[in-house]
Amino acid sequence: REDFISGNMRQTVVPERSLNVRPTHFFSFRVPQNSHFQNQIQTVYADIADYHASHAKLFVPTSKLHVTASVMVLANEQEALKVAEAARSVVLDTKLAPVSLLSRGLGHFKERVLFARISPDKDFGKFDRFVRKLRATLGDDPNLKVNFKGNPNDSYVPHVTLAKIRPQEQEAFGRTIPRNIWSQYQYEDFGEFEAPTLDLCEMKTDQATGYYKVVDSIPLAK
């Protein structure tokens, strides 16, 4: 896998505990509602839907837009609270303030997942250092024993997922999102947004907010 900053390649070794288990929780930096970034993405969605209406079903609702920091499998509420406290300690140790993230252009994972790139500008440096420490803490701390998805010490590609083809949608859409649908936005400037909290979420929709169910919301230091 290619490191986002250096471009160096590194081997990705996924721990055995991470295989064949569906994740239940994740830490996220939510895109604020009615932000310039969210409005820009909504415009892109509308433009694509005008010409490719069927593929609009693949869009992630703008109420769910976020940057994922880490993904894991947690067995119960007690595990979730323990993980949240560990993350709170990392926030305090790093003195992480609300981060401003800038997004330019689109990227993809094997053309199955389409995302808005996070540029290495604004507060990216401190954001990247925090996420690396958070992932290492959750994945390597023997006292937590977190079933962390993936390799916590691997390179990290910060992004906001915009569309994806899920396994149950492959019959209707195939395995890839056609480039002609999104290529015109490949170098688009989507602007910046500020993330004031780090949220531990369940992979369930909160019908009241349209986001995911938030187990704990950790404010970032002012």
Please give the pLDDT value at position 120.
86
- Say yes or no to pLDDT of 215 above 70: yes
In angstroms, the CA 98 to CA 108 distance is: 27
Mean pLDDT for all residues in the chain: 87
Q: Which helix (H) or strand (E) segment is 69 a member of?
A: strand 66-73
> What backbone torsions phi and psi does residue 97 show, to the nearest 5 degrees?
-95, 165
> Is pLDDT of 1 > 60?
no
Identify the band that residue 123 occupies on the pLDDT scale cut at 50, 70 and 90.
confident
Nearest alpha-carbon partner for 118 in 62, 192, 58: 192
Write the pLDDT tens digit of every residue in 56-82.
999 999 999 999 999 999 989 999 999
Q: Using an 8 Å Cβ cutoff, are 60 and 162 in contact? A: yes
Q: Which positions ≥6 away from 153 have C-beta within 8 Å?
A: 135, 136, 139, 140
- Answer for the pair 118, 159: CB distance below 8 angstroms, yes or no: yes
Nearest Cα neighbor of 202 from 74, 53, 47, 17 is 74
pLDDT of residue 17: 53
Asked whether 128 and 158 are in contact (CB, 8 A), the reply is yes
Please state which of the ranges 40-49, 68-77, 120-129 shows the lowest mean pLDDT: 120-129
pLDDT value at residue 148:
76
- 98 CB-contact burial (10 Å; exposed 0-12 / middle 13-18 / buried 19+): middle
Q: Which amino acid is at 150?
A: G
More confident residue, 26 or 20: 26
Q: Are 148 and 72 spatial neighbours (Cβ–Cβ below 8 Å)?
A: yes
Give me 23's structure tokens.
């994740």
Whole-prediction pTM: 0.88
Predicted pLDDT at 117: 94
Distance CA 43, CA 9 (A): 35
Query: Is residue 176 within 8 Å of residue 170, measured between CB atoms?
Result: no
Q: Is 101 left (phi over 0), alpha (psi -120 to 50) or beta?
A: beta
